[in-house]
Structure formats: structure tokens, C-alpha cells
């Protein structure tokens, strides 16, 4: 997952980024003002979540939100607000915010809300993502298959978590790269293949049913076996 | 002790009416008594004349004058008889009913005279007339024309009763009217005090949530209440203004304290997310310490601004020592020196300086804040000029920089507290200009800013000269 933090206080931005990276394993980009924030938010395939402060130089948070939504973007937006008056909350939600936390916030609560927003943005409601007999617990960042715990490297987990948020959807290598790495990081397309093969070895090799499939020239898909998935439900 | 305006007004009216009634009774008694006395006197005179008319000439010239007592007018009172005495010119008593122990006054030369005496404890009023003719019409008189002296006395006995009755009538009527007047006055006063009660109701309705004070048209048009209403309005306006200011300040302060607190809290929470090595803990502790210091700085500046704004709100002129402007500005230039050198900016002073009345530390803070702003918005290699001028009773200090300037959109708001420029790289809380303005205003001066993007910024501070 890749998160954009639009926050002009560098210390606060750094703390939020650290929390998101360490606790959730997300890639984080930071924008120091509203203009830069809007530019980054509108660019490319986008972020899985935008964390937006309201008091921003150059372009206010509310305006960033309005303009971003005017582009037809559906990225979940979590607003950081120092105000907690009712009207401004209403105004925020009406402008297209998905949730907000009032400063000074609890980092744990903030991270939980961030995860929930990402989840819901991808059509999932439970923090435990399931595909067939695979279980991805996004809170504890633990993976189980067939009742067995599976230990993954951090990057492998991030790839799997991204895939598991949208099972059966075809996800391109580019999308994976864009959503798993910070803005400034160099992107080597073959790293994804390395992680996918690692995942296959740990997840699929011990089991008869394969979950991770490669669609040549299109990308990857996490797909539980058709007949058993139906039976399992 | 409670004092009722209504009761006092009614008491005043009753008292003045009582005085009026007493006067009326007194005047009534005097008048009635006078009238009665005149009536009594004329009756007395009439009776005396009728007594005189009872005297006849005798048949023969040598005989004494005759008096026919059977034709005497009846006495006014049976218990207190009237007395009469008729004397001839030579002093011979023709007829008399006066008791022997009543001394009659000597008749005066001519005409009539009234006198008083007491008989058997009863006050009598008498009249004496001399030189009265004998009114015998028989012709010819048997002797030369006789002249008579006649005394007549009667008790003006029921006169006092009548006077008293008149007094009682007037007094009683007055008292009844007085009671009615008191009642009416009480009601009228209560009614006329309605606007006062409405005012009280209005005033009681005022609270931090309701500053509306608008008395009805009847109250607002009451001459005596207009000064009170004006005073209340003025007071409310001041209170409201001051309350609003305090509230805005509180809201602003709370708002702007949230971010530094959020930084600290998130720092510590993210630090505790997982075990870390000693170096990481130490660097985090150092960073948090810096955050706390910044928070402390923010608090100090906010409190300073609050104190200055409060002082500026005081209408009382501030008593302050005289300050040499040049030395004061120079001190600020020295203090901004390290920052200026680190940004390769030069600060120069020029012009004419004089003295102003102000607290030296306060004033130095003004120049320091303005110079810091100028330095932070200047490109490396730039020069900032602090220029002093003397304009009559005013001293002007202008601080000119060749920095990035301020957009027309932002210019009207630069003095607002917590207002920060668009360049987020410039550190600060947005309090410097607000503090500077509050200090300048507190000393009766004014501060103005001229700027355009790319054309630099000039801040002019004008202060009244010392002793002005």
C-alpha cells in the first residue's frame, strides 16, 4: 500500500510516515504543502490513502480535497484537523473526506482508521482478508493457510496484502511497484517477480491448490480454486 | 436597607398634600372666622341700633327718657343672655341689663367701638356707639334733641363651633382627597417605572450567548433613562469586544497548541511501536526535547501577546520611561545578527533617531520581530535597512527589505495572529507581527506595511515622541 501524507509540519509528517511504514508496512510519500500534495495525489495510478492536514500553506486542505474529488478520484482521504467543531466536520465530509482525526490524535487510532479506510476503499470490510483457505490478518500482519502459520519476508507480505485486498482482480506489475514503493525509490520491475516467486514457494508449493497466478503480459491475480471456493462458502 | 422609589414618591406626594391640606384648613378657618365675625359684628350693630330705637321722649320735658324693654330683640342664646345699656348725653342710665360686675369701657369720642370681656366664663363681644339720635317720630319733641350712648354685648358663642365645623369640613375633604391622591400616585408611579423594570429585564437577559440589549420604544424614549441606556450600551459593547477577543484568543491558542502536542504525542507513540536501539531512543528524546522547547516558546509568545493585547485594550495611557530609539534599534539589530549572518543578510541602520516613551524591552521586541521577518524573507546577499525619521511630534522607524514580498491577497492579514506566509520553509508561529502591532498600539503608535510580490516589504512604525 502507498500512502500520501500532506502535512506542512515536517516533524508531524515524519512521525506519521514512521508509524505507517513500521506499523502497517506501507510506502509513504510526504508533501509539505497543498499544491505539492494535490500534484502528487492527481498523478499516476494514485495512492491507496491520502492523509491530509487542513491547515496547509499555498493551498488549504479543504481545497486540495475538493479539487482532487473534482478529478473523479476515489482515493480514501483521512483528514487531520485541529478543529473539532461540528460544522467543519460536516463541511469536511461533504467535501469528500472519508474520515477525520482531530489533533492531537492517538497514533494507534490513526493507524487503525488508516487501515480501515484502505480496506473499505478496496471493498473489504474485515481486517482479516480471506481467499480460499488463505487468511491475511492485516492487524497482526500474519498469514495462515490451511490452519498453518506462514512466515513471510516484509516485502513478500506487502505484495500478498495488496493482492489479497482485491482477490480475483488482475494487478499489473506496474501497479504493484507504484503501490509498494515510496515516490523517490528506484523501481526495478524484476523485484516484484522475486517476491512473487518467494510467495509461491511459501504459500502454494506445500498445497495442492495454487492461489497466485500469472497472466502473461497483464499481471498477477490471487484466485482461490473455483469449485472449492464455492464449496467453502 | 431596601428603599422603594414608589413608596418614597408616594410619601413625598402625601406629605406635600398634607401640608397643602393644613394650609387650606388654616386659611379656611381664618376666612370663616373673619366672615362670621363680620356677620356677628353687623348683627351686634343691628341689635344695638334696635335697642337705641326703643328709647322715647317723655310726655313732659322734665321727665326722663322712656325705654320700652318689651320690644327687645330676642337673645341669640337662652343660657347666655345679651346685655344692653342706654345712657343719655349727661350720663344718666336710661336702661341697663348689664350685671353690676361688668365694667363698661368709656365711650370713645364718636362713632362705634368694639370691645371684649368675659362673664361667667363666657367670652362676650360688645359694641358701643355714642351720639345716637332718639328715633321718636312724634312731633314736636317735648324737649331739645337728646343724644344717646348705647352699649350692647352678646357672646359670639356658636361662632367657634361654626369655625370648627368649617375646619373639619375642609380638613376631612382634604384627607379623603389625599388618600385618593396617594393611591393614584402609587399606581401612576408604578406604571411610570415600567420602563425601568423593562430595562432590568433586558439587562438580566444578557449573557455570553446573548449580547442583545434593545429596550422597547417606550423605554428608549424615556428622557431620564436615555443616559442609562447609552451607558449600558457602551459598557456592553466594550465587554462584548473584550469577551470576543479573549474567546478568539483562547480558540486560536487551543487550535495552535494542538499541532505541537500532536507532534510530541505521535513522536512518542511511534517510538514505542517497537523496541529500538539506544541511539534511536536518544535521538528521539533529543528531537522531542526540541519539540517541547518549541512548544514552550509558542506558549511564551502567546502569553506575551495576550498580556500586550490586554494592556492595549486599557484606555489608560501607559506610564513608560523615555527610551533612546537609536540604542534600542541597535540592540535589536545585534540580536538578529546571528540569524542574519547565517542567511548572509546584512542589516544597516540610518537616519535620524530621537526618544519615545515606551518600555525598552517591549520596543526592542518590535524591532526584533520585524527584523527577523525581514531576514527570513530575504535572499542571501540582500541588505535590510532600518531607517529612522523625525516628523514633528512623531518618530518613524521604517524597516525595508528586498525580499520576496507579500501578495495583495495576504497583505491585509499579515498582522493577524497565527498568520503565516505561504512559504512553509520559513519557521515561526505567525505571532511576530501580531505582537509588534499590539506593542506599538499599546504605546499610542501605529504600524503599517507596504509590499508587493518581488518588490520587497517596508514596515513603518510611528510612535509619539517622548513627552508628546
Give the whole-angstrom CA distance, residue A130 versus residue A165.
Answer: 9
Residue B362 near residue B439, CB atoms below 8 Å: yes
pLDDT exceeds cutoff 50 at B158: yes
Residue A102 near residue A82, CB atoms below 8 Å: yes
Residues 6+ apart with CB under 8 A from B201: none
Q: Which of A9, A12, A14 to mutate to test the interface with B (most CBs of B within 10 A)?
A: A12
Taking residues B368-383, report their average pLDDT.
89
Largest CA distance in chain A: 57
Domain locations along chain A: 2-121, 128-232
Which residue is listed with cell 442583545? B212
Give the whole-angstrom CA distance, residue A207 versus residue A110.
Answer: 37
Q: What is the pLDDT of residues A119-167, one digit of tens each?
A: 998 888 888 998 888 999 988 889 999 888 999 998 899 999 999 998 8
Question: Do the domains A128-232 and A2-121 match in fold?
Answer: no
pLDDT exceeds cutoff 90 at A231: no
Task: Evaluate the omega torsion of the peptide bond into residue A40 and state whether it is cis, within 30 degrees of 0.
Answer: no
Q: What is the pLDDT of residues A20-35, one digit of tens each?
A: 998 888 989 999 889 9
Cell representation of residue B156: 359670639
Q: Nearest CA of chain B to the CA of A144: how many Å?
A: 23
- Considering only CB atoms, B420 lies closest to which of A16, A57, A107, namely A57
Residue B464 CB burial class (10 angstroms; 0-12, 13-18, ≥19): middle
Q: Which residues of A touch B (CB under 8 A)?
A: 8-9, 11-12, 15-16, 18-19, 22-23, 32-33, 55-58, 80, 82-83, 102-108, 110
Q: Domain A128-232 falls in which CATH fold?
A: Arc Repressor Mutant, subunit A (1.10.10)
Helix H segments across B314-411?
Answer: 325-342, 360-376
State the pTM of this model. Answer: 0.62
- Considering only CB atoms, B270 lies closest to which of A9, A19, A57, namely A19
B259 with A12: Cβ contact below 8 A: yes
Q: What is the pLDDT of residues B310-331, one digit of tens each?
A: 776 666 656 678 888 889 999 9
Coil/strand/helix, residue B390: strand
Tell me what pLDDT residue A73 has: 87
Give the whole-angstrom CA distance, residue B141 versus residue B146.
Answer: 10
Strands (DSSP E) contained in B134-251 are 147-154
Taking residues B388-395, report their average pLDDT.
88
Residues 6+ apart with CB under 8 A from A45: A174, A175, A178, A179
Considering the four listed CATH numbers 3.40.50.2300, 3.20.20.140, 3.30.110.30, 3.40.50.11540, the one that applies to the domain covering A2-121 is 3.40.50.2300
Measured between beta carbons, which residues in chain A are less than 8 angstroms from residue B276?
Answer: none
Tell me what pLDDT residue A230 has: 44
Domains and CATH numbers, chain B: 5-163 (3.30.450), 227-313 (1.10.287), 322-464 (3.30.565.10)
- Considering only CB atoms, A57 lies closest to which of B262, B273, B422, namely B422
Give the whole-angstrom CA distance, residue A3 versus residue A158.
Answer: 13
Tell me what pLDDT residue A233 has: 38
Tell me what pLDDT residue B425 has: 61
Taking residues B239-265, report their average pLDDT.
84
Taking residues A13-25, report their average pLDDT.
90
Residue predicted with more confidence, B350 or B134 = B350
Residue A193 near residue A177, CB atoms below 8 Å: no
Give the whole-angstrom CA distance, residue A12 versus residue A20.
Answer: 12
* ipTM field: 0.78
Tell me what pLDDT residue A50 has: 94
Q: What is the pLDDT of residues B103-155, one digit of tens each?
A: 888 876 667 888 888 888 888 888 988 888 887 766 666 677 778 888 888 88
Give the whole-angstrom CA distance, residue B413 versus residue B434.
Answer: 10
Measured between beta carbons, which residues in chain A are less than 8 angstroms from residue B422?
Answer: 33, 57-58
Which residue is listed with cell 474520515? A99
Amino acid at each position: 500500500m502507498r500512502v500520501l501524507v500532506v502535512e506542512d509540519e515536517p516533524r508531524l509528517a515524519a512521525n506519521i510516515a514512521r508509524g505507517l511504514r513500521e506499523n502497517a508496512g506501507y510506502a509513504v510519500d510526504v508533501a509539505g504543502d497543498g499544491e505539492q500534495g494535490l500534484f502528487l495525489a492527481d498523478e499516476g495510478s494514485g495512492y491507496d490513502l491520502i492523509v491530509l492536514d487542513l491547515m496547509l500553506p499555498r493551498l488549504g486542505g479543504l481545497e486540495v480535497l475538493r479539487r482532487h474529488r473534482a478529478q473523479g478520484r476515489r482515493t480514501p482521504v483521512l483528514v487531520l484537523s485541529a478543529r473539532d467543531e461540528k460544522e467543519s466536520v460536516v463541511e469536511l465530509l461533504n467535501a469528500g473526506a472519508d474520515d477525520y482525526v482531530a489533533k492531537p490524535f492517538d497514533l494507534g487510532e490513526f493507524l487503525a482508521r488508516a487501515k480501515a479506510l484502505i480496506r473499505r476503499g478496496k471493498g473489504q470490510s474485515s481486517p482479516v482478508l480471506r481467499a480460499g483457505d488463505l487468511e491475511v490478518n492485516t492487524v497482526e500482519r500474519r498469514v495462515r493457510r490451511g490452519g498453518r502459520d506462514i512466515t513471510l519476508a516484509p516485502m513478500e507480505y506487502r505484495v500478498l496484502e495488496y493482492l489479497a485486498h482485491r482477490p480475483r482482480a488482475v494487478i499489473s506489475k506496474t501497479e504493484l511497484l507504484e503501490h509498494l514503493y515510496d515516490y523517490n525509490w528506484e523501481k526495478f520491475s524484476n523485484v516484484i517477480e522475486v517476491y512473487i516467486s518467494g510467495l509461491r514457494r511459501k504459500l502454494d508449493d506445500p498445497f495442492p491448490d495454487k492461489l497466485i497466478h500469472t497472466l502473461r503480459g497483464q499481471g498477477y491475480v490471487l484466485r482461490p480454486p473455483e469449485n472449492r471456493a464455492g464449496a467453502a462458502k | 436597607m431596601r428603599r422603594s422609589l414608589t413608596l418614597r414618591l408616594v410619601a413625598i406626594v402625601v406629605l406635600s398634600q398634607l401640608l397643602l391640606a393644613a394650609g387650606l384648613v388654616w386659611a379656611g378657618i381664618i376666612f370663616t372666622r373673619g366672615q362670621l365675625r363680620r356677620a356677628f359684628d353687623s348683627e351686634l350693630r343691628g341689635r344695638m341700633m334696635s335697642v337705641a330705637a326703643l328709647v322715647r321722649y317723655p310726655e313732659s320735658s322734665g321727665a326722663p327718657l322712656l325705654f320700652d324693654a318689651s320690644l327687645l330683640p330676642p337673645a341669640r342664646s337662652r343660657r347666655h343672655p345679651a346685655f344692653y345699656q342706654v345712657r343719655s348725653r349727661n350720663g344718666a342710665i336710661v336702661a341697663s341689663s348689664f350685671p353690676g360686675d361688668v365694667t363698661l369701657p368709656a365711650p370713645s369720642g364718636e362713632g362705634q367701638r368694639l370691645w371684649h370681656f368675659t362673664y361667667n366664663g363666657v367670652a362676650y363681644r360688645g359694641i358701643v356707639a355714642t351720639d345716637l339720635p332718639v328715633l321718636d317720630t312724634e312731633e314736636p319733641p317735648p324737649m331739645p334733641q337728646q343724644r344717646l350712648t348705647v352699649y350692647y354685648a352678646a357672646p359670639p358663642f356658636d361662632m367657634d363651633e361654626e369655625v370648627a365645623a368649617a375646619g373639619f369640613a375642609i380638613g376631612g375633604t382634604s384627607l379623603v382627597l389625599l388618600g385618593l391622591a396617594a393611591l393614584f400616585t402609587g399606581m401612576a408611579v408604578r406604571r411610570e417605572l415600567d420602563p425601568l423594570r423593562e430595562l432590568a429585564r433586558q439587562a438580566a437577559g444578557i449573557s455570553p450567548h446573548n449580547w442583545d440589549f434593545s429596550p422597547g420604544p417606550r423605554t428608549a424614549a424615556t428622557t431620564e433613562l436615555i443616559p442609562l441606556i447609552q451607558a449600558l450600551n457602551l459598557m456592553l459593547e466594550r465587554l462584548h469586544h473584550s469577551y470576543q477577543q479573549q474567546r478568539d484568543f483562547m480558540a486560536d491558542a487551543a487550535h495552535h497548541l494542538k499541532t505541537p502536542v500532536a507532534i510530541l504525542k505521535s513522536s512518542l507513540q511511534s517510538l514505542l511501536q517497537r523496541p529500538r536501539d539506544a541511539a534511536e531512543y536518544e535521538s528521539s528524546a533529543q528531537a522531542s526535547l526540541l519539540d517541547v522547547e518549541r512548544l514552550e516558546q509558542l506558549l511564551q509568545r502567546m502569553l506575551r501577546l495576550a498580556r500586550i493585547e490586554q494592556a492595549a485594550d486599557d484606555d489608560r495611557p501607559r506610564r513608560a520611561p523615555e527610551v533612546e530609539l537609536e540604542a534600542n534599534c541597535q540592540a535589536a539589530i545585534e540580536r538578529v545578527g546571528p540569524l542574519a549572518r547565517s542567511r548572509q543578510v546584512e542589516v544597516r541602520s540610518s537616519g535620524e533617531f530621537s526618544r519615545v516613551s515606551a518600555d525598552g524591552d517591549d520596543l526592542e521586541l518590535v524591532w526584533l520581530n520585524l527584523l527577523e521577518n525581514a531576514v527570513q524573507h530575504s535572499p542571501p546577499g540582500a541588505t535590510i535597512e532600518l531607517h529612522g525619521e523625525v516628523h514633528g511630534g512623531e518618530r518613524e522607524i521604517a524597516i525595508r527589505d528586498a525580499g520576496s514580498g507579500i501578495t495583495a491577497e495576504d497583505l491585509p492579514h499579515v498582522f493577524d495572529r497565527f498568520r503565516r506566509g505561504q512559504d512553509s520553509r520559513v519557521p515561526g508561529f505567525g505571532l511576530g507581527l501580531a505582537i509588534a502591532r499590539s506593542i506599538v498600539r499599546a504605546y499610542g503608535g501605529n504600524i503599517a506595511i507596504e509590499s508587493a510580490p518581488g518588490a520587497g516589504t517596508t514596515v513603518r512604525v510611528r510612535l509619539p515622541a517622548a513627552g508628546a
